[in-house]
Chain A
Amino acid sequence: MSLKLYYDFLSQPSRALYILLKTSKLPFEDCPVALRNGAHLNDEFKYNVSRFQKVPVIHDGDFKLTESVAILRYLSREKNLPEFWYPKDSKKQARVDEFLEWQHNNVRAFCALYFQKKWLFPIITGKEMEPKKLAGYKKRMEDCLDSMEILWLSNGKYICGDNLTAADLWAACEVEQPRLASYDPTVGRPILGAWLDRVRSELGENYRVAHEILNKIATKSQKAKM
């Protein structure tokens, strides 16, 4: 099998690629990487898998590639990716691109930062983050989730109109992440909630499998809160 995916289910872009490949029935070798064990930080990973020492990574034969959005495009050209994910029609494709470029410094940055500061930081350092600082991260994430509704979800069932595309998959994986830190992005956001349910239903079992660990931890975090 020429295609290998190095991933961790706790990594949002890893989940997006995993779900994409499984749903599209593209054969690949599963290479899970335990980020919590620092598996990506050793020299072996650096020299043999990726010099960036992150996930996800794909190897297509000898060709090594990082950055999930770049990988999506590569797969759409080189493998049999169903067209709805990344339409060949130029203007439809440009709309998917527009979201995928916007999300880096918006929904990805803010949801990931809050998750890191609230959930990861205490695990690594043994301390909680200063409440005032944490409140700042939370506010920025909340403003961004509001903007998802206003800027992207007010004109159709999906981000790019009436059909599911890779934009929805990438966004959904980011929006799920803060649930690990007991924050449910859909509370108070009915449009976001309806959209997320739509994506979860449409992608069914593959989406559920990729989010199984996250869902388990999120349920525990919710109970701990109560």
Chain B
Amino acid sequence: MSLKLYFDLLSQPSRALYILLKSSKIPFEECPIALRKGAQLTDEYKNNVSRFQKVPVVHDGDFKMTESVAILRYLAREKSLPDYWYPKDSKRQVRVDEFLEWQHNNVRATCAKYFMKKWIFPLVTGQELEPEKLAEYKQSMEDCLDSMETLWLANGNYICGDKLTAADLWAACEVEQPRVTGYDPIVGRPILGAWLDRIRTEVDPHYGEAHAILNKIAMKSQKA
């Protein structure tokens, strides 16, 4: 099997690629990486898997790639990716691109930051982050989730109109992440909630499978 995916299901872009590949029935070798054990920090990983020492990474034979959005485009050209994920039609494709470029410094940055400061930081350091600082990160995330509703979801069932695209999958994986901390992004956001339900339903069962660990931890965090 020429395609290998190095991933960790606690990494949002790892989940997006995993779901994309499974759902498109593109054969690949699963290479799970335990980030919590620092598996990506070894020299072995650096020299053989990826110099960036992160996930996800794809190896297509000898060709090694990082950056999930770049990988999505590569797969759309090189493998049999169903067209709806990343339409060949120029104007429809550019709308997907527009979201995927926007999300890096918006929904990805803010949701990932809050998750790292609220959940990872105490695990790594044994202390909680100062409440004032944490409140700032939370506010940034909340403002961004609000903007998801006003900027992207006000005009159709999906981010790019009336059909599911990779934009929705990438966004959904980011929006799920803060749930690990006990924060539910859809509370008070009915449009976001309806959209997320749509994605969870349509991309079943692979979406559910990829989010199983996250869902378990999220439930524990809710109860706590």
Contacts and interface: CB of A to CB of B under 8 A. Distances in A.
Contacts of B108: 105
Contact of B90 (A74, A97, A102): A74
A164 interface: no
A186 to B, nearest CB: 23
A98 interface: yes
B151 A97 contact: no
A69 to B, nearest CB: 5
A28 B66 CA distance: 34
B135 to A, nearest CB: 16
A78 B98 contact: no
Interface stretch (B3-11, B72-80, B122-130, B180-188): B72-80
A122 to B, nearest CB: 20
A94 B104 CA distance: 18
B78 A90 contact: yes
Contacts of B151: 51-52
A109 interface: yes
14 contacts: A52-B102, A63-B91, A65-B94, A65-B98, A67-B102, A70-B97, A70-B100, A97-B70, A97-B74, A98-B66, A100-B70, A101-B70, A102-B66, A108-B105
Interface of B: 51-52, 63, 65-70, 73-74, 77-78, 90-91, 93-94, 97-98, 100-102, 104-105, 108-109, 151
Interface of A: 51-52, 63, 65-70, 73-74, 77-78, 90-91, 93-94, 97-98, 100-102, 104-105, 108-109, 151
